């Protein structure tokens, strides 16, 4: 089936618009991070760098604890992802493959938790964590990140669990498999794409979180990238080269992660997540 020419033109124009809107800022940041300072603040911005320098990166790494922030962020995001998965997978299995009294109510309660204004619990949670000695601890960040990622994670698993034919589960059960074995041997491999989608969501939620990390963490050695970087921004206000280098470095890990599992995440969102 062929598309009329004017629709091809319209489609191309729309795609160009969105490519520009999404990619142009990143292109300018990445190229800006290797431009000489004078070129960065030029009145007419250059699309292709005329100069090349790695000074900004060298200065960033020498002047700040950026690698430490990066390490903290990776630890916090990875552990948060792991715990989210450990909680969300069994919950998803029960919600979407079993029937039990209270299922609807509990499921709706979890959805409602997604609507939760996070800033509301910042104040009381700070008090609670202070009481049990979790202030200035990365565990506090993990707990908060899991709480924010979990409701959506359960929701995201819905279409993946629902898509598995009942016969497969039935057959496994008749063979004498306990529900735990059915979950581990049959279900988890079948919903692997959904698990990847949840993992990306949980990782990104933790990787980008700023507010709680800025309030709960006090010592510089435990700061995550968002908080550490905002400190650098405050210190080097208009040293755009250094800031652009920092921005580029913080984009890198998630882009690498996304290159591997991004398509599963997209599949998780598009293949029937909205119901």
Residues 41-70 that bind other proteins (CB under 8 A): 41-45
Classify residue 177 as exposed, middle or buried by CB count within 10 Å of its CB (0-12, 13-18, 19+). middle
Separation between Cα atoms, residue 219 and residue 84, nearest integer Å? 26
The crossing angle, in degrees rounded to 10, of helices 240-270 and 192-208 is 150
- On whether the CB atoms of residues 136 and 218 are closer than 8 A, the answer is yes
Site residues for other proteins, 152-211, by CB under 8 A, read: 154, 179, 204, 207-208, 210-211
Q: Quickly tell me which residue has 């490519």 as its tokens.
A: 19
Q: Taking the alpha carbons of 224, 230, 234, 239 in that order, is the dihedral positive or negative? A: positive
- Segment lying near other proteins (by CB under 8 A), choices 9-17, 48-56, 57-65, 169-177: 9-17
Q: Quickly tell me which residue has 């991004």 as its tokens.
A: 262
Give the interface size with other proteins as a residue count (CB under 8 A).
Answer: 97
Site residues for other proteins, 89-148, by CB under 8 A, read: 90-91, 93-95, 98, 100, 103, 106, 108-128, 130, 143-144, 146-147
Q: Which is nearer to other proteins, 61 or 231 (CB)?
A: 231
Among 7, 52, 58, 235, interactor with other proteins by CB under 8 A: 7
Spatial CB neighbours of 11, under 8 Å, sequence gap ≥ 6:
3
Query: Least distance in Å: CB of 126 to other proteins?
Result: 5
Site residues for other proteins, 17-46, by CB under 8 A, read: 18-19, 21-26, 28-29, 32, 40-45
Query: Least distance in Å: CB of 177 to other proteins?
Result: 13
Query: Least distance in Å: CB of 42 to other proteins?
Result: 6
Q: How far apart are the first and last CA of the chain?
A: 31
Q: Which is nearer to other proteins, 62 or 120 (CB)?
A: 120
**Measured CA distances, 188 to 90, 184, 248 (Å):** 10, 5, 35
Query: Least distance in Å: CB of 135 to other proteins?
Result: 9
Query: Least distance in Å: CB of 22 to other proteins?
Result: 6
């Amino acid at each position: 089936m062929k598309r009329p020419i004017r629709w091809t033109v319209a489609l191309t124009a729309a795609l160009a618009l969105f490519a520009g809107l999404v990619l142009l800022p990143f292109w300018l940041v990445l190229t800006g991070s290797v431009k000489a300072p004078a070129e960065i603040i030029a009145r007419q911005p250059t699309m292709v760098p005329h100069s090349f320098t790695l000074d900004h990166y060298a200065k960033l790494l020498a002047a700040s604890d950026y690698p430490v922030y990066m390490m903290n962020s990776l630890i916090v995001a990875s552990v948060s992802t792991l715990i989210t998965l450990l909680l969300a997978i069994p919950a998803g299995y029960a919600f979407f493959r079993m029937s039990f009294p209270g299922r609807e109510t509990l499921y709706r309660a979890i959805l409602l938790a997604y609507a939760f204004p996070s800033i509301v619990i910042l104040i009381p949670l700070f008090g609670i964590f202070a009481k049990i000695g979790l202030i200035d601890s990365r565990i506090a960040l993990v707990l908060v990140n899991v709480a924010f990622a979990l409701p959506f994670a359960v929701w995201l698993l819905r279409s993946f669990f629902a898509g598995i034919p009942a016969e497969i589960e039935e057959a496994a059960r008749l063979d004498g498999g306990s529900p735990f074995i059915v979950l581990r041997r049959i279900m988890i491999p079948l919903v692997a794409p959904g698990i990847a989608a949840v993992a990306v969501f949980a990782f990104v939620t933790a990787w980008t979180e700023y507010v709680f990390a800025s309030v709960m963490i006090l010592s510089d050695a435990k700061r995550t990238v968002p908080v550490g970087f905002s400190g650098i921004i405050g210190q080097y206000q208009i040293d755009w080269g250094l800031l652009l280098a920092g921005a580029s470095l913080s984009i890198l890990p998630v882009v690498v992660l996304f290159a591997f599992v991004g398509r599963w995440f997209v599949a998780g969102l598009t293949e029937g997540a909205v119901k």
